[in-house]
Amino acid sequence: MKKLSILSGALLMTAVFPLAAYPVPVPPATPPLVFTLDEYTGDNSQVIMSVTGSGTHSVTVDVSLGAGTVADIRGIYFSWDGNLTGLSVSGPKVTSYVFDNAGRVDTLPKSKDANMQGDGNIYSFDGGVEIGKPGIGKGDDIQSTSFTLTANENITFTDLGARLQSVYNGTGTDGRGGSSKLYVQVNNSGTGDLGGQGGVVPEPASVALIGIGAVLMRAIESRKKNIAA
């Protein structure tokens, strides 16, 4: 009996301690959702928005111009699923912002020029963020930017819009006299979705329990054989 206990204990120690040295696997970071906005009015242009943290209380939006587009990013607009409270926006280029759960935002109170109005506009949003200042003088010619939107509830966008000014259109003295308004309907279950979590990797503790069970079974079978002999 003592020999069996010593053997079982040694085997258990061998099974458990090496496994305990393995680090707990860290799940991969959730990839961002990437959306392309095309102009529905104005000069030819394109905006790329990368949304990180969709479906959480804090969402970061990275904004850049599409290939071949030269413009000054002036306003970003968005609608979300449901109602949100405790909303706030932070970002190095954010000048002002406005929210309205009723979806009536198409301009910014502190910057009327960065609006989505006119030219057959049929879109309005739940929120809007002003980027920078009017005009491209004094270095305020913003080609890319980012901001973080936080709320008390989970944030899932349903629509995205952008207002570009000083768009290059190939005419005029400097060729930057154009403007554009862009839009995309967000498909959170389509291409670029958050996706599944893949196969489940057993944690070290689970693996250790499996190893212990196997050792005990071998020890019991060995004891039965000794008694039968």
Q: Return the H-helix or E-strand segment holding 57.
A: strand 56-65
- Sequence-separated (6 or more) residues with CB below 8 Å from residue 81: 156, 157, 158
* 120 confidence band (pLDDT: 50, 70, 90): confident
Say what the pLDDT of residue 87 is: 96
Instruction: Give pLDDT tens digits for 38-76.
Output: 999 999 999 999 999 999 999 999 999 999 999 999 999
Say what the pLDDT of residue 76 is: 97
Higher pLDDT, 120 or 181: 181
Average pLDDT over every residue of 83-106 = 95
Say what the pLDDT of residue 190 is: 42
- Give dist(CA 114, CA 148) in Å, integer: 19
Residue ranges of domains in the chain: 2-25+203-228, 33-185
Say what the pLDDT of residue 192 is: 35
Instruction: Give pLDDT tens digits for 198-221.
Output: 223 333 443 344 444 444 455 555
In this structure, are strands 88-90 and 144-155 parallel, antiparallel, or unpaired?
Answer: antiparallel
pLDDT at 1 over 90: no
- Give dist(CA 204, CA 23) in Å, integer: 8
Structure tokens at 196: 């599944």
DSSP letters, 128-163, are: EEEES-SSSGGG---SEEEEEEEEEEEE-EEEEEEE
Q: Mean pLDDT, the chain, as a whole number? A: 78
Q: What dihedral do alpha carbons 68, 72, 73, 74 form, nearest 10°?
A: -150
Higher pLDDT, 20 or 90: 90
pLDDT at 147 over 80: yes
CATH topology of domain 33-185: Immunoglobulin-like (2.60.40)
